[in-house]
Structure 1
Amino acid sequence: MAVDELQAIIQRCQILEEADFKGEDFNLFQVAGQKCLEDGYAAQLLEVIQNEKNKVIIKNMGWNLISPLVRCIFMYKKDDDKREHCLKILEQLAQLCNPKELFLGLLEQIEQTSGERVCQTVMLLLQPLQTVLLKLQNKKAYSVGLSLAMIMNQLTPLPVPYTKQQIQEDKLGLCQCCNAVVDFTKPFVNEVVKNMEKSTEYNDTELKEELLKFCMKSLKYPLLTAQLEELEGIDEHPFRHFAAEIIVSAVKIITHPTELIPLVFLHRKRKNPEWENQEFADIEQKNSADSLACLSYLMVVQHFGIDCFPMVFSPSYLLQCNMTSIEVLLKSCLLRMEDNSLLHQYLEFRDFINVPQDLVKVMTLCPIEHLRKKSLNILQLYINKFDTEGKYTLFRCLLKTSNHAGVEGYVIKNIKDQIHLSLTKACDNTWFTGHHLISLLDLVLLLPEGAETDLLQHSDRIMASLNLLRYLVIKDCESDNQTGVWTMIPRIEQNFLKPLHVGLNMSKAHYEAEIKNKKENKKEAQSPNTVCSVTVSGEKMPAMTTEMQLQVLHSALFTFDLIESVLARVEELIEVKIKAVMDENS
């Protein structure tokens, strides 16, 4: 009988000194203890462990029971009594065993678990692991860091519940487990805080750094992809609670709460010497931009920890500081997707339309050049991810809402690229050929205000439209008419080409007259009392000399000449192709 075998081993070891225990004793104890658990004698094993006479034996050998104990706890899920006895044994081992040996045994169990058992195993072993870590004196920081790293490595492969139903079901237990882990860290956070309160020159930063690493890892997983909006019907949102606890922990263990600012803005080059804290030097190198982006989001959008954030920064400065985070968040999602894989139905959700429109606002209104370029890069990445119908819908939307010639020109270039793919690939793309394309070209091949359109202001759009039309006329034979462009040539001439001719003639005549006038009055314009001011976007620019004004006027004429040159080439190509078809038919 297993209990008898165990008693025999115990009686033999009771009379030995601790130093006299042999490897054979350890093996026999483990086998007999495991057999007791598997045969249902957990109550008897508990009595042996609780017996004061066996204290030295359990201290040295008890950790060997962790592996069979964990297996039996899951095995006895439906037997409350046996499971309860096993849980008490685990609690006793945490109190009695050699902390170093038990620590390794517990970590081994966490490392070996997988799949649906991960969260259950972690939650089962958190309390004994915490008990053991609190007993450790040497290398406590290292052991805490190792434990947290092991736990997060095991959790990270698990999918993060996103919908309300998934969060409520918490099928794998991730929501519950994450909050259990952050509770697990609280005694260690409090220890750091207590030590800092004792001495303003607290230099033992190892435990602090390990805890900060955990906070930063938690920001990347699960918080980066977690649903953090308030959900109706869920009183305490598990991930919102977890996010709040992570921010609180980070704030507590940082020497000064205001030093949360450099954490948020680590990815920027800081010029304020007060922010140059060695405490964060290593963290800056080791933590990813994803974590910092998530931290920015939690503070700026969700307002976690906002009470530690000085409200003295202007909205434009906050945007500048967080543009890197915005870029990281969008790219981290978009780069995981294959091009053309995002279904057009997603554009039925308001946010999927709002994002490109917001990017356009940054591209056109932000005064900082590198941020405008980043927005443009993200917009292109965003466009690339949609299927062809999605791209088509996005292009129509941006043409109607951007109200910016540069953006419209960029969209038209994208339309040209999609038409090129449709004509050169052996696939049937109905969205950038035929009647769908004709509908889109009606938005592209026209002047917004007819002949009176400000050609200089709309030059980017006009040049892109002419280049697109030139491409269509060259690439699509009239006999094939895959794009439908030849069907709409009369409409294009009426709405685009003829008004453009008239507008060019009017604009060139106006600017030539201005140049002549400036030259004639050059002497007067150069007198000290003559001031010419230019207003751009409602803001007055510095006064311009006559020479500078003439340069601007000549530059405008050059733009008109360029437009006129491309226009002439397009009309020539149309005429040649139509004549060739007429000759064939005659």
Structure 2
Amino acid sequence: MLEQEMELEVDVEAQAADPGEAVNLLKLIKRLLLEKAYDGVRMLFNSPQEAERNSRHLPLIAMDLFHDVCAPNLTDDVNCEESELFDCADELLKLLAKYAPLQELMLELMERVGESSSISVFGAYLRALQVLIQRQGRSKPQAVEWCLHSVYSRLQELPLPEYLSEGYDEAQAKLIEQEEDVEDLLAHYITVGLFRTPIVKEILQQDVRPADQTFRNCGLNRRNIFACFFIQLLGRPLALLEMGSVKEGMTRTYVQQVVEGFTKDASQCLGDPFYLLNLVEQRARWQRKLDASKGVYEMSSRNVFLIEEKLPLHALAMYYHSLFVGNQLPPTAPKIYAPLFLFESIVYLAEVLLKQQEPPLQHCGLRLVEYLLTTLGDPVPYASLQLDVHKRFFEALCKIVGYSPQVSLRQLGIHVLRQYVLAFEDQGKYLIIKNLLETQQHDGLMGYLAGMYKDLVHEALLESSPMPKVYSGKMFQEMLLLCVCVLPQDVKSDLLLHSDRLCSALNIVRYFALKDKQDVTGFWQALPEIERRFLIPLAKALDFSMAHYKAYKERVENGQSASDDALMQRQLNMLAVNITNSGMAAKDGDNHLPDIGTKEKLEVLASSITGLESLRALYLRANECIEQSARQRRIKPPISQALEA
């Protein structure tokens, strides 16, 4: 109602104004600007005597002033060469926004905001747009949404250093705000912060849920639009600056101040910051039908929070990252939400961040999960694993742990992986480790998981009586036989390629042979099968691989470097790159050796033989431990004597 009265008042003033006097005012303003009498222009609308008389003519000439005076002078050239003219045009535009035809000027400003070439021009148009949005009020929310989209689009188009998308370390994070492009980006965000302040205050005062309205209105209204806008701003490109975290007691960075401001505004517009978590599960867990004619998912037209374009999931994940990791949860947030519900719901968002291409977003996903794990008072029930999100989360996490080029990401990832597994009940821990060992291909990660299971059994041996089922008996034996003590291709396995996994398996066999002489776990019952499936084939594979590498070394020493052995070619390709850092790995589909010299080939082969000898030594030690413990248990020693020959 108030907005309609304001528009009616402007229309009345336009009707009461004399067209002739309005034209004369337009000419006067142009003449004063040509004479550089900028104070004279200001006096026309600031002086109590002149303001009332001149302001009533503005509705008639506002668009002429915009096209003839404001737009031509709100440029970087004018700002550099004649800053007073730029400032005068800036002030005049903000004044015109109060009287100009609302929709017409709004369309013009949307276009200008999206095309602004600098922070000065961007700020000038944004100040005028602020006035128009306040005039628009709660009517025509679609128009307000278009305005905000033009602002958001401009921020996304700003140039940034490439390393932000490629990832950066802690030292670079401390200097990131000194980058010229980053300074410019933050200046734009700070300007948006000034733009939204009076609008948010007005929304919180006027857009209040009626007392008789039980359920939240999730449709297209001003409050929801601004909530989505603030959360959008927390996504790219601002999220790319969030990889570094400021420790407690240190000065807040500009990035943190900007993030805190938008997070606070989003929380105020939402009321309950946890409200969106139920909608997140709807979007991430259940696929809805797509209405191609409308470009939206089924039922999402009635709920703006279900539409990716209005509320990107990665941006929503950054909102909860700010709430929890950034300690921005408002004191008024409801306390009724169980930690398990928050954990299971936000894991969907963490998975979204881990699947992004940019390391800073992956880093934030890991930090978010790391925080949530600290809030769990009780172990997560294994029944939670029925949620498919856990499987998807581990797939994304293991990809980072195994293959990320960022050392800090891999280190944080392995820490989160361990804490995530340990957060579950014993049966949940068992199921997770078993599933990962059965599905993952990264050798180092598989060795780590096998060692983790051994540590869990070790703790149970020390503390539990009786032993939990998942660490003894049939389930223990299945873990060892099907997941840990496994040769991927029997005697033909590439031992060096799988050395981490094999070393871990041998250490586990040695450990239980020495520590579980009472057969509490059922290790000794499984040992004959471990011998048959793993230890005996491994002995043959060691002999086979050692003979091949020594023979190949002799041929290289004699100048006969050609070989048709695909296994050795693949191993040499890998080791040539890893050890000599030659960068000459074989191309896809090319089975030929890298073109390296005799000296480099001999170094590669010597390293390969050393690796095999280390594996053989570990194998022999495991067999010694088995035989020693077997004698103490007074049982028949194992039959594995394959290496004695």
CA offsets, 1:216-275, max 9 Å, x none? Answer: 312323453333733699744333333333333233333xx3x322324533369xxxxx
Aligned to 1:251: 267
Shift of the 56–283 alpha-carbon distance from structure 1 to 2, 3 Å rule, reads closer
In structure 1, stretches of 5+ residues that fail to align are 1-12, 22-28, 271-276, 385-390, 424-431, 511-563, 579-586
Q: Which amino acid aligns with 2:196?
A: T
CA offsets, 1:357-380, max 9 Å, x none? Answer: 331332355149899988999999
Shift of the 509–396 alpha-carbon distance from structure 1 to 2, 3 Å rule, reads closer
Following superposition of structure 1 onto structure 2, how do residues 339-358 of structure 1 map, counting pairs within 5 Å? 342-343=404-405, 346-347=406-407, 349=408, 352-358=410-416
Shift of the 232–282 alpha-carbon distance from structure 1 to 2, 3 Å rule, reads closer
Following superposition of structure 1 onto structure 2, how do residues 403-422 of structure 1 map, counting pairs within 5 Å? 403=455
Worse-matched range after superposition: 123-132 or 495-504: 495-504
Q: Which amino acid aligns with 2:281?
A: R
Following superposition of structure 1 onto structure 2, how do residues 379-394 of structure 1 map, counting pairs within 5 Å? none
CA offsets, 1:310-368, max 9 Å, x none? Answer: 4455655543333333333333257899998744xx54x5x742431331332355149
Aligned to 2:620: 494
Aligned to 1:153: 153
Shift of the 320–222 alpha-carbon distance from structure 1 to 2, 3 Å rule, reads same
Aligned to 1:101: 104
Cα RMSD after superposing both structures: 5.6
**TM-score of the pair, normalised by structure 1:** 0.60
- Higher relative contact order, chain-length normalized (CA < 8 Å, sep 6+): 2
Aligned to 1:3: none
Given the alignment, which residue of 110, 113, 123 partners 1:110?
A: 113
Q: Which amino acid aligns with 1:326?
A: A
**1:173 to 2:197 alignment:** no
Offset of residue 414 of structure 1: 12
Aligned to 2:321: 297
Q: Is the 8 A contact 1:63 1:97 kept in 2?
A: no
SS of 1:325's equivalent in the other structure is: helix
Aligned to 1:218: 233
Aligned to 2:205: 194
* Alpha-carbon distance in structure 2 between the residues aligned to 1:170 and 1:234: 23
Aligned to 2:424: 366
**1:70 to 2:80 alignment:** no
Shift of the 169–491 alpha-carbon distance from structure 1 to 2, 3 Å rule, reads closer
Shift of the 366–85 alpha-carbon distance from structure 1 to 2, 3 Å rule, reads same
Given the alignment, which residue of 276, 285, 289 partners 1:263?
A: 276
Q: Is the 8 A contact 2:130 2:199 kept in 1?
A: no
Given the alignment, which residue of 441, 445, 448 partners 2:506?
A: 445
Offset of residue 206 of structure 1: 1.2
* Alpha-carbon distance in structure 2 between the residues aligned to 1:408 and 1:35: 90
* Alpha-carbon distance in structure 2 between the residues aligned to 1:331 and 1:87: 44
* Alpha-carbon distance in structure 2 between the residues aligned to 1:170 and 1:233: 27
Q: Is the 8 A contact 1:156 1:222 kept in 2?
A: yes
**TM-score of the pair, normalised by structure 2:** 0.55
* Alpha-carbon distance in structure 2 between the residues aligned to 1:381 and 1:90: 63
- Number of residues of Structure 1 aligned to a counterpart in Structure 2: 460
* Alpha-carbon distance in structure 2 between the residues aligned to 1:444 and 1:312: 46
Aligned to 2:333: 309
Aligned to 2:245: 229
Q: Which amino acid aligns with 1:163?
A: A
* Alpha-carbon distance in structure 1 between the residues aligned to 2:537 and 2:494: 17
* Alpha-carbon distance in structure 2 between the residues aligned to 1:317 and 1:83: 54
SS of 1:307's equivalent in the other structure is: coil
Q: Is the 8 A contact 2:267 2:330 kept in 1?
A: no
Shift of the 54–469 alpha-carbon distance from structure 1 to 2, 3 Å rule, reads farther
**1:238 to 2:296 alignment:** no
Q: Which amino acid aligns with 2:622?
A: F
* Alpha-carbon distance in structure 1 between the residues aligned to 2:124 and 2:433: 46
Given the alignment, which residue of 345, 350, 356 partners 1:321?
A: 345
Worse-matched range after superposition: 490-499 or 198-207: 198-207
Offset of residue 213 of structure 1: 1.6
Q: Is the 8 A contact 1:290 1:329 kept in 2?
A: yes
Shift of the 465–296 alpha-carbon distance from structure 1 to 2, 3 Å rule, reads farther
* Alpha-carbon distance in structure 1 between the residues aligned to 2:122 and 2:149: 12
Shift of the 219–46 alpha-carbon distance from structure 1 to 2, 3 Å rule, reads same
SS of 1:261's equivalent in the other structure is: coil
SS of 1:100's equivalent in the other structure is: helix
